Amino acid sequence: MSLELRPGIPLHEQISSWLRSEIEAGRFPPDGQLPSEHDLCQRFDVSRVTVRRALQTLEADGLIYRRQGLGSFVCDRRVAQGLVRLTDFAQDLARAGLTATSVILHRAQEPCPAPVAERLGLEAGAPVLRLDRLRLGDGEPLALDRTWLAPFHAQLLEGHDLARETIYGVLEREYGIPVLSGRYRITAAAADPELAGALGVREGEPLLVIERTSRTVGERPVYFQRRFYRSDRMAYELELARDPGAGSNEGGAMPLREFEAVFRAS
């Protein structure tokens, strides 16, 4: 981390620009602490007044927050959206203020793996459609979806451009098949070479994995999906709230009020 100060440009502007670029490059993570004022003064050989003006600029722009006696910290600029709701990827990102696009990487029939067959109520090895889509937000890869559909629902998607249309949309709009419920499982995995190449991360990078079985009327499975999220771009937040009328039983369970996915702004 270095900066060569240039003549003719106010020093505080050069320092704030350098700090901004370091934050945007991810060298200072959300809620991470910036170098102290003393360290910045020594690093750039400038006065404390100059450093404070640079920090004030970043604070005014909403990039950092300052805690008395502790220093300056990077704002968490991730945007909340309701993944927990029964919505599709495009709807989720729209709530986060991002434009969703998709690229189809694989679309072919194959024998159903045993773990997937169990979730779809099929025999292991039965033919299923496997659909892999790279999911992007504002043009940047955020996730890779691997979806398996039984033949009945898969045939309904024939002729549809699933890079532009959603499974939810096609089934509900064209065939009156609503997705009414879903069972989620959240795990983690290391990026294998295929996932790393698609998502633009290093092999072995930790990924957040969301497994979902989506069901329609009568609890009939529609598809099983594994979504591999870049963990540097996405996290989960939840909020619990006790019913005010339930008393003050400290050992009692608190109902889940919100369960939100958050995407970190690039």
Tally of CB atoms within 10 A around 138: 15
The answer to whether 48 touches 39, Cβ cutoff 8 Å, is: no
Q: What is the rounded distance in angstroms from the CA atom of residue 37 to the CA atom of residue 44?
A: 11
> 135 Cβ partners below 8 Å, 6+ apart?
89, 100, 101, 102, 141, 142, 143, 144, 145, 227
DSSP class of residue 252 equals S
Signed CA dihedral, 21, 23, 28, 33: sign only: positive
> Which superfamily is assigned to 100-231 in CATH?
Chorismate lyase-like (3.40.1410.10)
User: Which residues are registered as beta bridge partners of 259?
Assistant: 238
Q: Which CATH number fits domain 11-74: 1.10.10.10, 3.40.50.300, 1.20.140.10, 3.40.630.30?
A: 1.10.10.10
Cα-to-chain-centroid distance, residue 58: 25
pLDDT of the chain, 266 residues: tens digit per residue: 456 677 778 888 889 888 988 887 788 888 889 999 999 999 888 999 999 999 988 887 778 888 777 889 888 655 443 444 445 677 667 767 778 889 999 999 999 999 999 999 999 999 999 999 999 988 999 999 999 998 899 999 999 999 888 888 888 888 888 887 888 888 999 999 999 999 999 999 999 998 999 988 878 899 999 999 998 887 776 666 655 555 544 545 555 555 566 666 55
Q: Residue 100 in 3-state DSSP?
A: strand
User: Which residues are registered as beta bridge partners of 263?
Assistant: 79, 234
The answer to whether 87 touches 44, Cβ cutoff 8 Å, is: no
Q: Which two three-digit tokens encode residue 53?
A: 């003006």
Residue with tokens 């008395």: 68
Q: Which two three-digit tokens encode residue 58?
A: 């970043």
Phi-psi region of 119 (alpha: psi -120 to 50; beta: other; left: phi over 0): alpha
Torsion angle of the four alpha carbons 111, 223, 135, 238, in this order, in degrees rounded to the nearest 10: -130
Q: Kind of pairing, strands 234-240 and 221-230?
A: unpaired
What's the Cα-to-Cα distance from 244 to each of 13, 247, 249, 254, rounded to whole Å? 50, 7, 11, 11
Among 52, 68, 96, 84, smallest CA distance to 181 is for 84
* Spans of all domains in the chain: 11-74, 100-231
Q: Tens of pLDDT along 97-133?
A: 778 889 999 999 999 999 999 999 999 999 999 999 9
pTM: predicted TM-score of the whole model, two decimal places: 0.62
Amino acid (1-letter code) at residue 260: E
